[in-house]
Amino acid sequence: MAIDQEAIKKHVRGILEALGDDPDREGLKDTPERVARMCAEVFNGMNYTNHEIAQMFGKTFSQDLDLCSSSDDMVIVRDIDIFSYCEHHMALMYDMKVTVAYIPQGKVIGLSKIARIADMVGKRLQLQERIGSDIAEIISEVTGSDSVAVKIEGCHSCMTARGIKRPNAKTLTTNFTGRFKDEPALQMRLFMS
């Protein structure tokens, strides 16, 4: 499903009018067009299912896996910066740091692909909890690993800039599958990394 930029322009103009402003004044006359282009960019992930994202960023490598020969070896990528928009308020979720870990099962994914997956999943109206489960699902599909962990820490402007207005509040979510779910020692390795 493609993002309907014409509909966005029409509705943004209506919002400006509902706010009591003149959408034809100099500072606002191009705002509906700008917002429509911004939405097409920041919500690009809404155009794709998790399976389609896995296919887009599914390049894996099976050679040199002697480096990951132990059943406890894991790949961890930390501090992937992403942002998203809360589906409840359409408010920005920002300063988000994503950590992804998985236990290889015969193949590994290119490291930049992990960051691209996290970025694309964030480009949806989302809940932070779902971002983690979506990333885990895609990483599992691409790598064939049933043991994936995703940790996300971020700020939500629906809490920091409005409502309760607590600018230092951060939300931490985790998603564990397979051995990460069953073995607290693996979880600790993730948190200690």
Residues noted as catalytic: 86-89, 128, 156, 158
List Cβ<8 Å contacts ≥24 apart for 92-95.
92/156, 92/157, 93/122, 93/126, 93/128, 93/154, 93/155, 93/156, 93/157, 94/154, 94/155, 94/157, 95/154, 95/155, 95/170
The identity of residue 29, as a single letter, is: K
